[in-house]
């Protein structure tokens, strides 16, 4: 495994652990219902609306990428739905395991298209 892949795995793992910690804290403190109220209510404030729209666009692009890179369309659709609902809590572990399996970030990002040149 290349050093770039190891650095990616480390960074993604640290980011995932931090996000998991903050998510668990938010759920324990405010519950799941507050997530919807917070997200939808954020569109009333111009900067929160910008951030939330940017996040939605990112999640849609990430979901489309997961369908594209998956070994089968059905797997891709399931992964896309999980990515849309869980965001980086799902995407980061998928990428880490893909880097470990392929041995490179390139192979992880391209998925079934990595063999095509």
What pTM did the predictor assign?
A: 0.79
Q: Which residue has the higher pLDDT, 111 or 115?
A: 111
Checking if the pLDDT of 116 tops 60, the result is no
Q: What is the mean pLDDT of residues 79-91?
A: 93
87 DSSP assignment: T
Nearest to 78 by CA among 90, 88, 89: 90
96, 13 Cβ separation under 8 angstroms: yes
Question: Which pLDDT score, from 0 to 100, does residue 60 have?
Answer: 95
Nearest to 16 by CA among 86, 98, 106: 86
Most distant CA pair in the chain: distance in Å? 49
Question: Which pLDDT score, from 0 to 100, does residue 35 have?
Answer: 81
Chain segment 50-62, per-residue pLDDT in tens: 988 898 899 999 9
Checking if the pLDDT of 5 tops 70, the result is yes
The pair phi, psi for residue 91, each rounded to 5°, is -65, -45
Checking if the pLDDT of 39 tops 90, the result is no
Checking if the pLDDT of 117 tops 70, the result is no
b/e code 24-35 from CB counts within 10 Å (16+ = b): eeeeeeeeeeee
Both tokens of 32, joined, read: 């799941």
């Amino acid at each position: 495994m290349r050093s770039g892949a190891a650095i990616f795995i480390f960074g993604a793992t640290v980011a995932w652990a931090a996000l998991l910690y903050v998510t668990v804290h938010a759920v324990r403190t405010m519950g799941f219902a507050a997530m919807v109220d917070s997200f939808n209510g954020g569109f009333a404030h111009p900067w929160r609306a910008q951030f939330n729209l940017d996040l939605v666009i990112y999640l849609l692009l990430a979901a489309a990428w997961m369908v594209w890179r998956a070994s089968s369309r059905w797997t891709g659709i399931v992964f896309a739905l999980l990515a849309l609902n869980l965001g980086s809590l799902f995407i980061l572990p998928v990428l880490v395991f893909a880097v470990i399996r392929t041995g490179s970030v390139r192979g992880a990002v391209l998925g079934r298209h990595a063999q095509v040149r």
